[in-house]
Amino acid sequence: MTRHIISIKDFDRRQIDRLLDNAKRIDAQKYDKTALNGKILATLFFEPSTRTRMSFEAAMARLGGTSISVGSVEACSMAKGETLADTIRVVSGYADAIVIRHPKEGAARLAAQFASVPVINAGDGAGQHPSQTLLDLYTIRQSMKLDGINLALIGDLRYGRTAHSLASALSLYHVKLHTISPTGLELPPALITELGEKGMEIIDHDEIKDIVKEVDVIYVTRIQRERFPDSASYFNVTSNYRITPELLESAKKHAIILHPLPRVDEIDPRVDRLPNAKYFEQSKNGVPVRMAMLMQVIQ
Amino acid sequence: MKKEENNEKEELLVRRIQNGTVIDHIAPGEALNVVKILGITGSTTESLSIATNVPSDQMGKKDIVKLSNRELSKEEVDRIALISPRATINIIRNYKVCEKKGVEVPELIEGLVRCPNPGCISNTNEPIRSRFVVTPKGLHCIYCEWVLTRDIPSHII
Ligand SMILES: [Zn+2]
């Protein structure tokens, strides 16, 4: 039996807490730096995501392990029409774990079915990306307890998988969710129902300034230009959702601002200097969180 | 007495069969879908009768499909359960009902339904069959986590 990390929905609260506790110990340098000596991680990225990949490779290296990867997708058999199932069976023979990113939803679940080593999902299409959610939770937990906080989710909440997975996970912590999104990019109704059934309170707002005084976390996601007919309407919309120092004047002192990065115009660069800005910290936290994930699956 | 009368009416609509299967209590309007999911087309050789919107004591209206010289596999019965969970299967031998059973929606359905999500890995050439967990809300794709709630017949493979 191998253990895989495919979807945040496979985790219960106890499992998430345990993983985040391990990440915290790692962050405090209380870990065995040779824990994964001699182990090999295969990173299979069927679509580019340089940072996620670097973050996993850095995590593996910090634990004494090695990473291998395909040079470019074009150069390998994946581009020649080989099934993912076959690729996974072959790569299972080379490595002690596989990290996969793939454009199709459910690809990681399929990979887990065919792999003889553990599989970690690093994003499958519009589907799941559990390491992002775990590092988001970890970053919030560095500043405050997760239980009962007020969290504002801003941006493209319809297509943004980061927002969906995070909302799902937060429903385990009695978080009150405030949503702010352009027309047409609201949270999908099915997800609202699902979260409601888990007891989550969700309140929709027109503008972030309506709620900025009350929230503990402001989680900003990217609004993609492709979602709008022209750049003028894109600019109109995004300017209404922008986080600025002026907006934050009325925010709680301890409130934090998160963003999965890369950002475009969603956050004014002047915000970077405020102690509330935690998005670079968040990105850095990807390494200890992924180290905890790798230790969990490989040992 | 009333039951007898109903049966009489059915007799008028659909001739009795000697050997085969009568699929009764199909949700009204679903008989053609039942025929479709059994793979019966103009070029197959079954002798087939269909009655739709037949008055029914239990259901108000129902559809009936009668198939001569054919018994259904477990998988075929499962497919019928998906679109008509109240259907009953009567196996007929020598004009008599020799076995009568309900249908049951299985907990896990494999290879019966196509995932409606075009981005789902199960809709590619991978060597897998689609897999759905049956929940009170609908069919839950184990790959992409999409939940199929409506119009299940049109997604049956
Ligand atoms: Zn699917």
**B50-90: per-residue pLDDT in tens?**
999 999 888 899 999 999 988 899 888 988 998 888 999 99
> Are residues A121 and A139 both part of a single domain?
no
Instruction: Find the domain containing A56 and state its range.
Output: 8-128+285-298
**Total domains in the fold of chain A:** 2
Residue B121 to residue A107, Cβ atoms within 8 A: yes
**B96-126: per-residue pLDDT in tens?**
899 999 998 889 999 889 999 999 999 999 9
Residue A7 to residue B145, Cβ atoms within 8 A: yes
B14-102: in CATH 3.30.70.140: yes
Query: ipTM score of the complex?
Result: 0.88
Residue spans per domain, chain B: 14-102, 108-155
Residue type, B60: G
| Residue B75, H or E segment | helix B74-83
Distance between Cα A228 and ligand 1 center (Å): 27
Q: What percent of chain A clears pLDDT 90, i.e. is strictly above it?
A: 81
What does DSSP say about strands B138-141 and B131-135: parallel, antiparallel, or unpaired?
antiparallel
> Are residues A140 and A196 both part of a single domain?
yes
> Are residues A86 and A187 both part of a single domain?
no
Which CATH number is B108-155 given? 2.30.30.20
- Checking if the pLDDT of B44 tops 80, the result is no
What confidence score (pLDDT) does residue A226 get? Answer: 78
Q: Establish if B122 touches chain A: CB-CB under 8 angstroms.
A: yes
Work out the minimum CA distance from A70 to partner chain B, whole angstroms.
20
**A8-39: per-residue pLDDT in tens?**
999 999 999 999 999 999 999 999 999 999 99
> What's chain A's length in residues?
299
Distance between Cα A286 and ligand 1 center (Å): 28
Residue A127 to residue B144, Cβ atoms within 8 A: yes
> Are residues A216 and A119 both part of a single domain?
no
Within a domain: A3? no
Mean pLDDT, chain A, as a whole number?
93
- Residues A89-108 have a mean pLDDT of 96
What confidence score (pLDDT) does residue B1 get? Answer: 42
Specify which of A43-57, A136-150, A225-239, B137-151 reaches the highest per-range mean pLDDT: A136-150
Distance between Cα B130 and ligand 1 center (Å): 8
> Are residues A76 and A144 both part of a single domain?
no
Q: For chain B, how are helix, strand and coil distributed in percent, rounded to 5? A: 25, 35, 40
Q: What is the pTM of this model?
A: 0.87
Those residues with Cβ within 8 angstroms of residue A259's Cβ, 6 or more apart along the chain or in another chain = A219, A220, A221, A222, A266, A267, A279, A282
What confidence score (pLDDT) does residue A72 get? Answer: 60
**A210-262: per-residue pLDDT in tens?**
999 999 999 999 888 777 888 888 887 778 889 999 999 999 999 999 999 99
**Residue spans of beta strands (DSSP E) within chain A:** 40-45, 66-69, 97-102, 119-124, 150-154, 176-180, 202-204, 217-220, 256-258
> Are residues A103 and A231 both part of a single domain?
no
Within a domain: A2? no
